[in-house]
Amino acid sequence: MLQIDNLHAEITSENGGGTKILNGLTLSVNAGEIHAIMGPNGAGKSTLAYVLGGRPGYEVTEGSVTFRGQDLLAMDPHERAAAGLFLGFQYPVEIPGVSNIQFLREALNAQRTARGQDAMSGGDFLKLAKEKAGLLKLDMDMLKRNVNVGFSGGEKKRAEMVQMGILDPAFSVLDETDSGLDIDALRVVGDGINAIMRYPDKGVLLITHYQRLLEVVEPTHVSILSKGRIVKTGGPELATDLEREGYDAVMESA
């Protein structure tokens, strides 16, 4: 479903220079898999997410990314979204003056139009939004408020997972979705990911620092990212080893 081959990328600066972050990263995620990426600070985890999502300021200098048989890097961000890619941010942004309901319906219908589908009616959309909000235990009144304005960290993450549920992507890249969540919110978000994305035709790239999320969303594979490259891949037990021994010991064995 997602094939990354020898990916090199850098963060570009205003003066035209760049800082290399990804250094020959290769990774494959098949349909039906939840692949967790772990690694120390500065390893390139968020850069990988941003490159896949098409965020400006990140330049690919070498390598390729194929998504569902298409050249992902040749697409604009909105085309990647219409093709079925979803990017969940570590720090969801606030959008004053725009309600969640308005934002989500416009986003969904823009993607439906790009796929040649009819726009969803207001009534049908509200039914869908209520269903997905229920999975994340998010009150519908929250969706009437401006996007993320005045939300706690946990509420922002749950609202973003509701967005994922409504857009129904084929593949989700979730950048530290567990960041800032307490134990109860972590389980709610984890259960939501399982309900929305754990299907044979979907895939997830789950970026996280901590093994605790992986106790709820059990991954099919776990990879360690260090200095812009994948240095070790294993099963869910690899996350347990990291929790017990730390990165230095596990990466030394790699």
Please report the pLDDT score of residue 17 as a whole number: 67
Query: Phi and psi dihedrals of 54, rounded to 5?
Result: 85, 30
Instruction: Please list the ranges in the chain whose pLDDT falls under 70.
Output: 14-17, 251-254
Please report the pLDDT score of residue 33 as a whole number: 96
Please report the pLDDT score of residue 14 as a whole number: 66
User: Measuring CA to CA, which residue among 154, 152, 224 is closest to residue 192?
Assistant: 154
- Strand 58-67 and strand 2-12: the pairing is antiparallel
Please report the pLDDT score of residue 15 as a whole number: 64
Please report the pLDDT score of residue 93 as a whole number: 85
Please report the pLDDT score of residue 134 as a whole number: 87
Per-residue pLDDT tens for 99-144? 999 999 999 999 999 988 999 999 999 999 999 988 888 888 888 8
Q: Is the CB of residue 83 less than 8 Å from the CB of residue 75?
A: yes
Contacts (Cβ under 8 Å, ≥6 apart) of 69: none
For residues 45 and 224, give the distance between their C-alpha atoms in angstroms, rounded to a whole number.
10
For residues 136 and 130, give the distance between their C-alpha atoms in angstroms, rounded to a whole number.
10
Contacts (Cβ under 8 Å, ≥6 apart) of 6: 24, 25, 26, 62, 63, 64
